[in-house]
Amino acid sequence: MKEFDAMNLAANAIFPAPLDPQFQPAVLFNRHYVAAAKKSGSAVPLVLGLERENKLVSRYETVVLPEADAGTLLYVERLVKFLLWARGGWKLYVGGPKKIGDAIRKQYSPRGVRKFDCDMMTAAYGKKFQVVTTTADKVPAAKEMQMAAGGHLKGCRIGFDLGASDYKFSAVIDGEAVFTDEVPWDPKSQADPNYHYHHIVSALHRAAAYLPRVDAIGGSSAGVIVDNEIRVASLLRAIPKKNFPKAAGIFKRIQKEWNVPVVVMNDGDVTALAGALSLGSRGMLGIAMGSSQAAGFMDPQGRILGWLNELAFVPVDYQTNAAVDEWSGDKGTGVMYFSQQAVNKLLPAAKIALPEKLGLPERLKEVQALMAKGDARAAKIYETIGVYLGCALAQYAEFYQFRQALILGRVTTGKGGDIVIAKAQEVLQRHFPEVAGKIELRVPDEKSRRVGQAVAAASLPALKK
């Protein structure tokens, strides 16, 4: 495939979004590339494998053109990026043409353009990230973790949900919340782990005051969490490396002090659990739009597979001038399309001017206030996010088997959230009917949108026998 063809693919993939006319959905580019490769008659297999803890392996099979041309490298590199953050792993197998494998190994190296991703995977899994180039038939077979989690409703429980701009917590008795609250905080800029610890413990004591006793504590937090320890999280970004173990061990410290079962999981997985509990359904992809984008997945058998599901880092837009995520340094990734940052990004195009001193949460509140008054400019922001979401759901459906997509988070609060869902459904029905016929978009009620994850988190631990 020549450079000219790659440019044509890019042009074909542009999708009109009200405030982002050059939006280039990943799903369209990927479909066009694979179709063109198959039509050429020279397509060859490409198998990508990702190994993570305990020799678990995820595989993805596709086809590519044999030469490492611009279109092929764009397709493969963005595919690797998606799989890396959707499924996770410390070892990447690239089974296919050697030139393509060599190019990926160079990009995903300590000195490559994807150094951030390599470092994060090393931190998450405790092993140096590496790329192995091989042939398609030598990529290891898939081996996925199949674990059921959550859904324990009996007893007096406390649940919490830690976000970047606020944390929510609930006191729950036999599955019913008797008290909920949310508190603003600024964990990303705090270098002292005691800041995080004291905020969480304060919330636990406030919730405990509404319970006759505390039987268990469950938590939801942004980041990569393994064995109740935070391995990677933006919430702890400012903590010096020497103090990181103290911060990572906060939940285990709480378990020791309270002497009850404590289970903390990634907020995306708790999103999926919240959907399964509230809707009584399996095959659930949960997406929370808040200070970042969180996601979680429960397969049609009700199992959690141990994937990362960090969709905030996966590419959804291939346009050259796509917005850049300040943390990863990559462009076109989910966090800039499904979070407070997405709203802020679209303000100039919507011709809404806000004081520079306002933070992202306050900017979202201003847009929500305008939306409540029927402001057409604010409506365009939500319509644009709806277009993003419809295209992204079609993309996600090629990697996840789900029947329900639960959409929640602060960005979906109020009338704007209704516009996001309606626009996403319109995009799916009009442009991706084969996907629209398989999945259903669901939203929790207004209260659950704000605190549903804290309540679901409370159900994570099983009680002591």
pLDDT at 2 over 50: no
How does pLDDT run across 118-139, given as a tens digit for each residue? 999 998 898 999 999 999 999 9
Look at the block and give the residue holding tokens 């929500």. Answer: 368
Picking from 46-55, 283-292, 346-355, which range would have the lowest pLDDT averaged per residue?
283-292
- 10 Å Cβ neighbour count for 213? 8
What is the model's pLDDT at position 98?
A: 96
Within a domain: 197: yes
The answer on 448 and 334 residing in a single domain is yes
The answer to whether residue 405 is domain-embedded is yes
My answer on whether 36 and 99 are in the same domain is: yes
| Domain contains 146 | no
pLDDT for the residue 151: 79
- Select from 222, 237, 265 the last residue of a domain: 265
Element (H, E) at 161: strand 156-162
Given 210, 233, 265, which residue is the final one in a domain? 265
Q: Which residue segment(s) compose the domain that 190 sits in?
A: 156-265
> Are residue 175 and residue 232 in the same domain, yes or no?
yes
Amino acid at 134: T
What length is written for the chain?
A: 465
| Cut 0.75: pTM above it | yes
65 located within any domain: yes
Instruction: State whether the Cα torsion 394-454-85-60 is positive or negative.
Output: negative
Token pair of 195 as six digits: 């800041």
Average pLDDT score over residue span 39-49: 96
Among the listed ranges 156-160, 204-208, 306-310, 434-438, which one has the minimum average pLDDT value?
306-310
Residue 150 inside a domain? The answer is no
DSSP output for 364-399: HHHHHHHHHTT-HHHHHHHHHHHHHHHHHHHHHTTT
Same domain (yes/no): 426, 297: yes
Count the domains in the chain. 3
- We report the CATH number of the domain holding residue 250 as 3.30.420.40
Looking at every residue in the chain, the average pLDDT score rounds to: 91
In this predicted model, what pLDDT tens digit does every residue of 242-279 receive, in sequence order? 999 899 899 999 999 999 999 998 877 887 887 777 77
pLDDT single digits (tens) 162-181: 988 899 999 999 989 999 99
E strands in 6-56: 44-51
One domain for residues 251 and 299: no
Tokens of 35: 């179709």
For residue 296, being part of any structural domain is answered with yes
Evaluate if residue 4 carries a pLDDT over 60.
no
249 lies in some domain = yes
- Phi first, then psi: give them for residue 129, nearest 5 degrees: -65, 140
Percent of the chain with pLDDT over 90: 72
Cβ atoms < 10 Å from Cβ of 181: 15
At which of 265, 289, 312 does a domain end? 265
Q: Are residues 132 and 160 in the same domain?
A: no
